[in-house]
Homo-oligomer: A and B are copies of this chain.
Amino acid sequence: MSAQLVHTIAGVREAVARLRGAGKTIGLVPTMGALHAGHGRLIETARAECGAVAVSVFVNPIQFDRADDYERYPRTLATDASFAEARGADLVFAPEIAEMYPRSQRTYVDVEALTQHLCGQFRPGHFRGVATVVAKLLDIVQPDRAYFGQKDAQQLAVIRRMVADLNLPVEIVGVPTVREADGLALSSRNQHLSAEERAVAPSLYQSLQATEAAIASGERNPERAKQAALAVLAAEPRIRVEYFEIVDPDELQPVTEIAGPVLIAAAAWLGATRLIDNLAVEVPE
């Protein structure tokens, strides 16, 4: 099979209408390109659950809080299209910026409370840009299901809440994080790491696991549960922690006591590269 590459909104709507006309359900995998095995897992999951799979590739300018991050975000469309096709995509939607934002964008989707902590605190406007572009992509493609990685846990929670609050007719599917053998979560930004940075990068995941272990051992105080993790990270001079929080999984508010399921989420800088990771932890109540 061969995936169809379309660049216009009219083109993707026509292609989706044709697939629907053939009785197929539609899965959408929204991406910013630079596809790796994490995206591969999303596409394969969609492939297994839907009659047809569309992958969007769009580096969305309005979700970047730093110009340098936007500038150096990898753009590899030809490779991405082959990658998506190899994993079973029927359609690759790769619009230009002017196709997605043909006039001054005046309309934004804001998800409150959930965007207050974690990355939201350090990347002003980021989730507003994410929610807005995802709303647009969902309205353009009108899929039955859309697939997002659990690696971006706050993004996933924000999108789930947006879909519920706005009654968008789509099912959001969260797909488990894919990791390297040493535990580092796959990310398009990993390619910016130097060899030395790459060597210490798995500490981020190890710090989450240390916290998970503390909770599993019965620790219910979030500050104490974080202590072991912060010690792991403090031992690495190349790592600068941006945040390390234990929050409730729905509204993403820091908890004062670990009394139910929580999300342990962290962001750290390694040189000029910012990495994020998280672990969802069930606590027997």
Contacts and interface: CB of A to CB of B under 8 A. Distances in A.
Contacts of A135: 166
B112 A109 contact: no
B106 A108 contact: no
A180 interface: no
Q: A interface, how many residues as a size bin?
A: 20 to 34
Given A142-B169, A167-B140, A112 B103 contact: no
Given A106-B161, A161-B106, A9 B167 contact: yes
Contacts of A9: 167
A80 interface: no
A217 interface: no
A109 B111 contact: no
Interface in A42-98: none
A114 B161 CA distance: 26
Nearest to A251: B106
Contacts of A136: 165-167
B167 A107 contact: no
A110 B112 contact: no
A161 B142 CA distance: 20
A232 B120 CA distance: 52
A108 to B, nearest CB: 5
Interface string A12-31: 01000000000000000000
B110 A107 contact: yes
Interface of A: 9, 13, 103-114, 131-132, 135-136, 139-140, 142, 161-162, 164-169, 251
21 contacts: A13-B169, A103-B165, A104-B113, A106-B111, A106-B113, A106-B114, A106-B161, A107-B109, A107-B111, A107-B112, A107-B162, A107-B165, A107-B166, A108-B109, A108-B110, A109-B110, A109-B166, A135-B166, A136-B167, A139-B168, A142-B169
